[in-house]
A and B are shown apart, each in its own frame.
Chain A
Amino acid sequence: MQEQWTTTIRPVSGWLNINLAELWRYRDLIALFVRRDFVASYKQTILGPLWFLIQPLFSTVVFTVIFGNIAKIPTDGLPPMLFYMAGIVSWNYFSSCMTNTANTFVANAGIFGKVYFPRLTVPVSVIIINLATFAIQFVLFLCILFYFTLKGAPVHISPWILLTPLLLLQMGILGLGIGIMVSSLTTKYRDLTFLVGFGTQLWMYATPIVYPMSQIPEKWRWLFALNPMAAVVETFRYAFLGVGVISTDVLAFSFGMTLLIFCIGVILFSRTEKTFMDTV
């Protein structure tokens, strides 16, 4: 007689064990994780969610002073404030997606060791939180954009703006892909935690955030094609401010690379989640 078992627990087999239906069943948990992290991070702070705005504003001011006024790096004829802010807001979103998911296993070892739920709920909820943070900062960016447009800055919004959701998706899955890849590897190699910290900073300077792509000599541009974030940031800036060097080829290539990184991350993650309790 065939019996109806709801769960069968067997040794790990196969490469890909991601159960998307199960992840969907736990959507309430994802929502609650989002809420928890959002609420918890600003409880017992005086300014509360205002910090979401203060932080990019502050970075923008610092960049404007150092790179704009002191180093005098050109900004494609745009007001430096506006130029840096576009880069910072999008980079912040990507880098926090990456760094906040990079410690998934180690930071949650306690609860992962006690109870089962789809482990991907944790990094997915992190991405959603960052998306919300981005939304807040994006509104700030739009306000500043509006202000400078009123003052007559040479800004023109291009039709590429329609690509914004795709750009956000790409930054999200790129950050998630690298984050969960690192989090899987850190269960064995703790070194990577250090690497993530300063690697993120190096990566930022390898991305046209504090300088425009147009400043890069033509013969070196191919190097930037290898950095998927370069195309994304440059496109984002082109979409909203109307300046930048973009090409569909490079953007498509960066999207393909993002997907590849994401797939590797998911595979590593699904391998690790089954056994990491024995190695962590």
Chain B
Amino acid sequence: MSDTVIKIENLSKEYRLGTINHGTLYRDLQSWSARIRGKEDPNSKIASAGFKVQIGSFMALDDISFEVKQGDVLGIVGRNGAGKSTLLKIISRVTMPTRGEVKIKGRVASLLEVGTGFHPELTGRENIYLNGAILGMTKKEIGRKFDEIVDFAEIENFIDTPVKRYSSGMYVRLAFAVAANLEPEILIIDEVLAVGDAQFQKKCLGKMEQVSTKQGRTVLFVSHNMAMITSLCTSAVLLDSGKLRVRGNTSDVVLSYYTQYSGSPASFDFRSSNKFIGDDHAMLISGSVVDSEGNVANEFDIRNPVTITMRYRVTRPDHYRFIPNFHFYAPDGTCAFISGPQEVTTESGEFEAVCTIPGNYLNDGTYFVGLALSSMETGVKAHFYEQNALSFNVKDPIDNVPTRNGYAGPIPGMIRPKLDWKIRGVA
């Protein structure tokens, strides 16, 4: 027996575009009788124009194949409309595929959206049973898990209160607790962790990890939060307009998600693309991420410096004092830091601004760089600001990294600078 628990083969899902029917029986009958008598369909929108328009169809999923192994935490990423939800809907049997098939070993449970399947008038206790049964458990199984669920959701005191009196946080906690403690072989989570306080989120993440590593269960996790995907998932798939783009380890997928979708390369040049970013006074020309040898790169060893360069032209200085500045963002959209020079320029002409981040300064992970040119005259003015213009990935080889000092686990934080430290005996 192999340990593949989900096998997806040539899966496609097609939706017909436009109105499937006229929505009322009367109109359908009208169209039908017109067709019988060989007349124009009175309800056809294009009939009057004298030509026919093909009813369009839209592939929500287009020939997707991949496998998921037992114990995997698979991140599913992609832009809105990429087909993530359709994929989950098919796996959780809510809708049918048009072609292809999915084979599943074990029970699938989805973490429901807040309150779906909860009845507001029923108490927490009754809702645990109801929700568990909706997810496919028997009463006996729920009874066995009951205390664990209540304990996990932290609602002991409210267990016999109708859930309509619950706070939204309590709702989510209860919903997650039921799904996560059900012990399905495959757990589907579609971006619900965004709700609930930070402490509970942490608890959920811990639970997910425990579920996958200790109990060998498989988790499918859809999120737009790349930081969460990176920290939770063992592997990931990237979907783009219904097609499977990348299947691989999480950091590769996350990076291609960003480079593909935000158009964040390691370098760009607007002179070749006739793109104009700027205003009356200045414009952006090009930008790149380069290594210490001056080569454009998007992967860096955590110990090596990263250099960002930006070319721009000042066309009308008008006594402005121009300050280029770079904005560094983490994948989840948090600003890591902003940096600018200690000097200003006031003349017109073409300039190149270069900023070097020393090695042993950034943490590992992906960074996005926004390129901007501001000026200080009467108040701050931004002449251009190109968000996520560049991106690069910092890799941590773990061995021989001075900021690790032998520790091998994940190190949180936006940056991980090597600072001046002194330790001395004092007694």
Q: Which residues of A are interface residues toward B (Cβ below 8 A)?
A: 1, 3-12, 26, 28-29, 31-33, 35-36, 39-40, 43-44, 110-117, 188-192, 274-275, 277-279
Contact = CB atoms under 8 A, between A and B. Distances in A.
A39 B112 CA distance: 23
Interface residues of B, number: 51
A9 B138 CA distance: 23
Contact of B116 (A33, A43, A115, A274): A115
Nearest to A13: B96
Contacts of B121: 39-40, 43-44
Contacts of B316: none
Nearest to A188: B21
B105 A9 contact: no
A31 to B, nearest CB: 8
B205 interface: no
Contacts of B92: 114-116
A277 B1 contact: no
Given A6-B105, A35-B126, 19 more contacts: A1-B1, A3-B103, A8-B102, A9-B101, A11-B96, A11-B97, A11-B100, A29-B133, A29-B134, A32-B129, A33-B130, A36-B119, A114-B116, A115-B134, A116-B94, A189-B28, A191-B24, A192-B25, A278-B95
Given A115-B134, A115-B135, A189 B25 contact: yes
B270 to A, nearest CB: 43
Contacts of B98: 11
A115 B130 CA distance: 13
A178 B343 CA distance: 81
Interface string B336-357: 0000000000000000000000
A36 to B, nearest CB: 5
Given A5-B104, A9-B97, A190 B23 contact: yes
Interface of B: 1-2, 4, 7, 15, 20-21, 23-26, 28, 89-108, 110, 112-113, 116-117, 119, 121-122, 126, 129-130, 133-139, 162
Contact of A32 (B23, B93, B94, B133): B133
The 5 residue pairs across chains A and B that have the minimum distance between CB atoms: A116-B93, A29-B133, A9-B102, A5-B103, A7-B104
A277 B20 CA distance: 13
B26 A191 contact: yes
A143 to B, nearest CB: 30
A8 B96 CA distance: 11
A43 B153 CA distance: 25
A8 B101 contact: yes
Contacts of B138: 28
A162 to B, nearest CB: 35
Nearest to A276: B95
Contacts of A3: 1-2, 4, 103, 105
